[in-house]
Amino acid sequence: MTGNNVRLRAIQDVEAYVPPAVSFDPGEEPGKIFGENVFSLSAMQKRLPKAVYKSVLNTIEKSAPLDSDVADAVASAMKDWALEKGATHYAHVFYPLTGLTAEKHDSFLDPVGDGTAFASFSGKTLIQGEPDASSFPNGGLRNTFEARGYTGWDVMSPAYVLENPNGNTLCIPTIFISMTGEALDHKTPVLRSQQAMAVHAERVLKLFGHENSEHVVSYLGPEQEYFLIDRHFFLSRPDLINAGRTLFGAKPPKGQEFDDHYFGAIPERVLAFMMDTERELFKLGIPAKTRHNEVAPGQFEIAPMFERANVGSDHQQLLMTTFKSVAKKHGMECLFHEKPFEGVNGSGKHVNFSLGNSELGSLLVPGDNPHDNAQFLVFCGAVIRSVDLYGGLLRASVASASNDHRLGANEAPPAIISIFLGDQLADVFDQIAKGGATHSKEKGTLTIGVDTLPNLTKDPGDRNRTSPFAFTGNRFEFRAPGSGQTVAGPMVMLNTIMAEALDYCATELEKSVEDGTDFNEAVQTLLTEIISNHGKVIFNGNGYSDEWPIEAEQRGLKNLRTTVDALPELITPEAIELFSKYSVFNDREMHSRYEIGLEQYVLSISVEANLTHEIGTTTILPAAVRYQTELATNVSALKSAGVEADTSTLEAVTGPLTALRAGLAELAEAIGHDHDPDGLTAATYCRDAVLPAMASVRAAADELEALVADDLWSLPTYQEMLYIL
Ligand code: ADP
Ligand code: MG
């Protein structure tokens, strides 16, 4: 009997769930569908005149401008290709500062005078669109009278056809800027920062004898963690629907401490979902590679192969939308929130970062001769310098209300940004620090240009999972980004701070060379300087230990625990100077991002606070009151029958019920407070007054969950959501 209890009904529905019919064709070769829906280079080569194709290639590889004749030819070929794929519409896809994906759809068909329609799509419509920008956050960059924003095709990121049972759409990845050319999106700065980083990386390469190497790009390999829960449960939890996380829920009796889920067998239903998503991703040219269970029950991970940062970050967004829609098809909901379940491991999105090109590979790989090693060490040195100088900016790039539940909240990784080099590489830099002073090889010192590095094998046992920024053999892994965030933000930071560090290295080395200093000696001096001044950012110990924050403070490293602490990093004079020097953001753009970050923080906490109040009042309080009444009725009935009544259960329920009422009153007052017009003040208020009030309501409610009769409790429990799949 489930009565009106949505939770009990959900459990019944989950049990009755029938998986969708198998659509898998065992004869299908995965290689065949890969990129099937992408207007890729090979598709272009087949359909474009040679000269036009060459010109597009030039734009992609050398960032040469695309002229209008070429654009027209590409547009026409793209349209024919898309129509053959069943597309009826085209959309400029862009990434506004909400962190979500936005699309503006238009039909290919233009009505012609005689009442018929004609499929048209010109170079101009391919290259530029004009969506109304007024509904997207702009942080003061746009006045309402100039509400238009412009989208422009990122030629380097290929167009693709997105399938839908009711018709397909040609999607064109674009940037999104204001009338005055200021960035309103996450993509524009990725491209700008990429370019800045490349210029200085190429200067360094030139010093190492790579005169005409290909353009350097940054590579991104994202590892996406997520939760899957049955949709019946999801739909019975207004907090999950509206806030993406559970605002209530007692810890399950069986927690993740059993560790039986990590790398365990993937449940069949989940496997079916994974196969299906990977198929969809393959068609879109997204190289999905590894998949496995994660630490928490119901938690999984997918890691596509690394790609050029701008393409990789577009693909990352596309991956998230694909996951959401395929999960629904399998009767599940995919949760990308950083902390959907309190007390259960949260989800991150590790950003594996390197720089290089197809000719030289990753520049963060140690070589097998002294010359290549010296080059590797300079690039590594640049990373060390940049993370030490601008760790606060890296922290700010992953700041959000939801990610605060991971960073700075006793969970992976800590809010203190430090670098893990591994024992071997740390030792190498130690030797450089010692040896550099004398320029001679003493015992335990290393001389650049003479010694080969010890073999830095990627030893899986040597992986420090508690570090927010770890060297992993051929790249650095930035572990602080949240599972729901766009990877573009961290990529912009990494590219820009690396541009500065490489600029610094190139300038120092060029000066020494001009002065006639021996090149190897110049490199040695540079590295010694870097490691002496910035070595404090290297930490190979346990980032979760209680001692680390204390030691980090002594070292002068920042511990920006919350978004409110982190976002002001974006508008320090140093940050503004850095970003304008490398033409990634001007002063106004930096301020706009700061304002939007605060706005989003206030918005998401306000939504959560309202939901907490509503669910507390309309769902939890009534359940507890009914149960209390039932117990009280029982006590008085027993009393009047002359039987001795045990009142302990009644008292046990009355305690947290009283606390719940008090918490709700406190929360109502906090919510009633008008937001200060100053973003930082409003955000600080949310953190210091609203979040604690929410926590008191939750504490009382979670206590009640363990006391109130099961048939009166209508929110699916952690136990049910995490273990029934
Ligand atoms: P792990 O779980 O051991 O950290 P995964 O295999 O889950 O590793 O993910 C590693 C990610 O790093 C993948 O996306 C992979 O493509 C990416 N990666 C590998 N080499 C590089 C590189 N040179 N630059 C950037 N990303 C890389
Ligand atoms: Mg992994």
Q: Does 678 fall in a domain?
A: no
Confidence grade of residue 144 (pLDDT, cut at 50, 70, 90) = very low
CA distance 127 to 30: 32
pLDDT at 147 over 70: no
- 164 plus 256 within the same structural domain: no
Which of residues 133, 153, 185 is at a domain's end? 185
- 506 plus 382 within the same structural domain: yes
Tokens (6 digits) for 666: 């406190």
User: Ligand 1 centre and the CA of 352: distance in Å?
Assistant: 6
CA distance 649 to 635: 10
Which of residues 600, 616, 646 is at a domain's end? 600
- 467 plus 526 within the same structural domain: yes
CA distance 521 to 501: 19
pLDDT at 263: 55
H or E segment to which residue 246 belongs? none
Determine the atom of ligand 1 nearest the C-alpha atom of 364: 23
Q: Is there an atom of ligand 1 within 6 Å of 219 CB?
A: yes
- 130 plus 200 within the same structural domain: no
| Protein residue whose Cα sits closest to atom 26 of ligand 1 | 221
User: Ligand 2 centre and the CA of 254: distance in Å?
Assistant: 25
Are residues 346 and 338 in contact, defined by beta-carbon separation less than 8 angstroms?
Answer: yes
- 227 plus 346 within the same structural domain: yes
- 132 plus 275 within the same structural domain: no
CA distance 207 to 304: 34
Determine the atom of ligand 1 nearest the C-alpha atom of 305: 16
Q: Does 670 fall in a domain?
A: no
- What's 177's domain CATH number? 3.10.20.70
Q: Does 690 fall in a domain?
A: no
CA distance 475 to 333: 33
- 222 plus 200 within the same structural domain: yes
Provide the residue type at 462 as one letter. D
Q: Does 517 fall in a domain?
A: yes
In this structure, the chain runs to a length of 725
- 482 plus 580 within the same structural domain: yes
Domain count, the chain: 2
Q: Does 616 fall in a domain?
A: no
Q: Does 277 fall in a domain?
A: yes
Biggest CA–CA distance in the chain, Å, is 105
C-alpha count within 13 angstroms, C-beta hemisphere, residue 710: 7
Confidence grade of residue 454 (pLDDT, cut at 50, 70, 90) = confident
- 404 plus 255 within the same structural domain: yes
pLDDT at 21: 76
Determine the atom of ligand 1 nearest the C-alpha atom of 221: 14
Cβ neighbour number for residue 481 with a 10 Å cutoff: 27
- 170 plus 72 within the same structural domain: yes
pLDDT at 104: 84
Q: Is there an atom of ligand 1 within 6 Å of 218 CB?
A: no
pLDDT at 65 over 90: no
pTM higher than 0.85: yes
Are residues 567 and 399 in contact, defined by beta-carbon separation less than 8 angstroms?
Answer: yes
- 561 plus 417 within the same structural domain: yes
- 337 plus 431 within the same structural domain: yes
Phi and psi at 332, nearest 5°, equal -125, 165
Helix (H, G, I), strand (E, B) or coil at 252: coil
List, for residues 687-712, the tens digit of each pLDDT value.
Answer: 999 999 999 999 999 999 999 999 99
* CB-neighbour burial class of residue 560 (10 A; exposed 0-12, middle 13-18, buried 19+): buried
Which of residues 600, 633, 653 is at a domain's end? 600
User: Ligand 2 centre and the CA of 478: distance in Å?
Assistant: 12
Q: Does 330 fall in a domain?
A: yes
Q: Does 553 fall in a domain?
A: yes
Alpha-carbon torsion 334, 337, 341, 344, what sign?
positive
**Which domain range does residue 299 map to?**
193-600
User: Ligand 2 centre and the CA of 457: distance in Å?
Assistant: 18
User: Ligand 2 centre and the CA of 223: distance in Å?
Assistant: 6
Residue among 311, 475, 476, 478 whose CB has most ligand 1 atoms within 8 A, to mutate: 475
Q: Calculate mean pLDDT across residues 449-470.
A: 74
Please provide the average confidence, as pLDDT, over all residues in the chain. 90
The ligand placed nearest to the CA atom of residue 460 is 1
- What's 204's domain CATH number? 3.30.590.10
CA trace torsion 376, 378, 381, 382 (10° rounding):
-110
